Amino acid sequence: MTDRAQKAPHWLGASAAARAFAARTLSPVELVSALLARAAAVDPGINVYIRLDAEAALEAARVAEAEIMAGRVRGPLHGVPVGIKDIIDVAGLPTTCHSRLLLNNVAAADAAVVARLRQAGAIVMGKLATHEFAIGGPSFDLPFPPARNPWNPAHHPGGSSSGAAAGLAAGLFPLALGSDTGGSIRHPASACGIVGLKPTYGLVSRRGVFPLSFTCDHVGPMARTVADTALLLDAIAGHDPQDPGSAATPRTHYAALLERGVRGLRIGTVRRFHERDMPADPEVAAALDLVARTLAAEGAELRDVRLPPLADFAAVNRVILSSEAWAVHAPWLRRRPGEYGRLARRRLMAGAFYQAGDYVAAQRRRLQMITQVEAALREADVLLCASSMEPACRIDDAEAVARSYPRQARAPFNVTGHPALAMMAGLSAGGLPLSVQFAGRYFDEATVLRVARAWERVAGTDTCHPALG
């Protein structure tokens, strides 16, 4: 094994693992075994897994190893472990949505994204903690404990793809699948200091993923590095005729376009979000300035752009999300309200109190907002803005959680469907990740990833790990 593969295989990214497999310095079985040992050591303190499927993962690793040894390499994810948020179907395993209501909901088939990953040779490690039905959390009244932040387990890891981000930050797997309806990939990515991408609406299939809000739901990649995020997107993006929202788009090789730098790109800074609408923690504001200055030093042209107020985006997101979620959950909320945790019950019942006119008004405002963001993206190639306005607070401080969760600038891009990526922008004085968000034009994830990689290359955020275990 190489030095790093030998000493700390759990920090290997997908790309590095593929190189180690090719060089025969590490095998998929060795990597999966190391990750299982890592999970045994650290997961009891951070609650990443709802279900660790160790036997199936080892068997898949043996198959991958035999294929790779025989020279039948399927691609860059062959033999690479991946964690799956537990609202995404994996055939033969329960999709519980972290809820008492679905404890025995065994999936008959893989979700489209999981099927694509298996085809690419990736190894499913297990199902990961989420907020209940991707909306109610962090909660302590559910059948599984909430995931915790590996940078400080007394703090929350963000949500709702909480297990995915915590597991990546803790070195339990190099790749994970999450979902994002109001920021649920980018929030935990921000809180845990990893990379999370909400793709353009329609780029990645939602088939086999438990719905929260049909027009705001996105499935997307999460990883510790921008390159691994791009590799995972390469594997899961593509048209699915069985997802009515799926878009037919030309194939792009995201991972191949990363290292082009930002010289000549126009970066539009959205200052109002963190300066006026929701004044950010000074450490977050300073980190955002540093990212902008760094990209300028790398050759990007910075310009300020104007968007509608955050509160306007948030209200539209909530009216649409709650109305659509009510359509999904009304039968259970009527008959079995006591089987939900308190937070999910409160948030999901809100949809009962909107009228049809409210929903249509929100959808009409949505089209105006799309037009406004499109106008900003004619002046800039990529937008730079805040993700979370402060580092993660303590998980047991319900008041702080309730106050700080809405202090974010992620919902705009669920409303408009533009691609948006959140990643680490530094560490707070208290040792918790700070974050930045980049958003781009429809189906131009390649440029978003390119800007993110330029920041990562200078800042070294891909080698910044918590001292856990």
Partner 1 sequence: MDADLVAALARLAGLQRALADFPDDVAAAAAQALGHRDEMQAPEDPAAEPWPPMRAGRRCGPDRACD
Which residues are part of the catalytic machinery? 85, 160, 184
State in angstroms the smallest separation of the CB of 460 from partner 1.
40
**Does residue 58 belong to the site contacting partner 1 (CB under 8 A)?**
no
Contacts of 375 (CB under 8 A, 6+ apart): none
How many residues sit in the footprint of partner 1 (CB under 8 A)? 44
Best CA proximity match to 283, nearest among 435, 154, 422, 461: 435
Euclidean distance between CA atoms 146 and 161, whole angstroms: 11
Q: Candidates 8-16, 53-61, 65-73, 338-346 — which segment interacts with partner 1 by CB under 8 A? A: 338-346
The CA-atom distances, in angstroms, between 230 and each of 84, 428, 448 are 17, 27, 10
**Does residue 329 belong to the site contacting partner 1 (CB under 8 A)?**
no
List the one residue from 44, 45, 92, 244 that touches partner 1 (CB under 8 A): 244
**Within positions 430 to 459, which residues make up the interface with partner 1, using CB under 8 A?**
none
Euclidean distance between CA atoms 19 and 25, whole angstroms: 9
Contacts of 105 (CB under 8 A, 6+ apart): 94, 95, 96, 97
**Does residue 319 belong to the site contacting partner 1 (CB under 8 A)?**
yes
Beta-bridged to residue 223, according to DSSP, are: 175, 195
**Does residue 32 belong to the site contacting partner 1 (CB under 8 A)?**
no
The amino acid at 455: W
List the one residue from 70, 108, 248, 467 that touches partner 1 (CB under 8 A): 248
**Does residue 24 belong to the site contacting partner 1 (CB under 8 A)?**
no
List the one residue from 7, 24, 306, 342 that touches partner 1 (CB under 8 A): 342
**Within positions 187 to 226, which residues make up the interface with partner 1, using CB under 8 A?**
215
Residue pair 403/258 in contact (Cβ under 8 Å)? The answer is: no
List the one residue from 318, 410, 418, 441 that touches partner 1 (CB under 8 A): 318
Q: Which is nearer to partner 1, 363 or 428 (CB)?
A: 363
List the one residue from 82, 316, 377, 392 that touches partner 1 (CB under 8 A): 316
**Does residue 131 belong to the site contacting partner 1 (CB under 8 A)?**
no
**Does residue 349 belong to the site contacting partner 1 (CB under 8 A)?**
yes
Strands (DSSP E) along 132-285, which ranges? 175-180, 195-198, 218-223, 266-269
Terminal-to-terminal C-alpha distance of the chain: 22
Q: Candidates 2-10, 104-112, 134-142, 350-358 — which segment interacts with partner 1 by CB under 8 A? A: 350-358
**Does residue 238 belong to the site contacting partner 1 (CB under 8 A)?**
no
Q: Where are the alpha helices (DSSP H) in 221-355?
A: 226-236, 271-272, 282-297, 310-335, 342-349
Residue pair 274/284 in contact (Cβ under 8 Å)? The answer is: yes
**Does residue 249 belong to the site contacting partner 1 (CB under 8 A)?**
no
State in angstroms the smallest separation of the CB of 317 from partner 1.
9
Give backbone dihedrals phi and psi of 268, rounded to 5 degrees, phi first. Answer: -95, 120
Name the residues that contact partner 1, by CB under 8 A: 215, 239, 241-242, 244, 246, 248, 308, 311-312, 314-316, 318-319, 322, 330, 333-335, 337-338, 342, 345-354, 358, 360-368, 370
